[in-house]
Amino acid sequence: MARIQLNGRKLELKNRHTILTLLKKYKMDSKKIAVELNGKIINRNKYKIVYVQNKDKIEIVHFIGGG
């Protein structure tokens, strides 16, 4: 089990997750966001291989188009 902080909310994850599986769990489109893990931006091509660990702090930012 991992206790993490996701966008300021504390969560408990019972299963092991990668960034990608976490995004899928919360129905987020990985093409329209940026992920910061413990203060560092994670490259999109690493979402499948970076595992969420206990005490991680994750911030997810959605891109919004405008004119």
pLDDT digits (tens, 9 = 90+) for 32-61: 899 999 999 999 999 999 999 999 999 999
Q: What gap in Å lies between CA 36 and CA 42, rounded to an integer?
A: 6
Which domains, and CATH codes, for the chain? 2-62 (3.10.20.30)
CA dihedral 13, 49, 46, 14 (to 10 degrees): 0
Compute the mean pLDDT over every residue in the chain, rounded to the nearest whole number. Answer: 93
| Confidence at residue 21, expressed as pLDDT on a 0 to 100 scale | 95
Percent of the chain with pLDDT over 70: 97
**Do 43 and 35 meet the contact criterion of CB atoms below 8 Å apart?**
no
| Confidence at residue 67, expressed as pLDDT on a 0 to 100 scale | 61
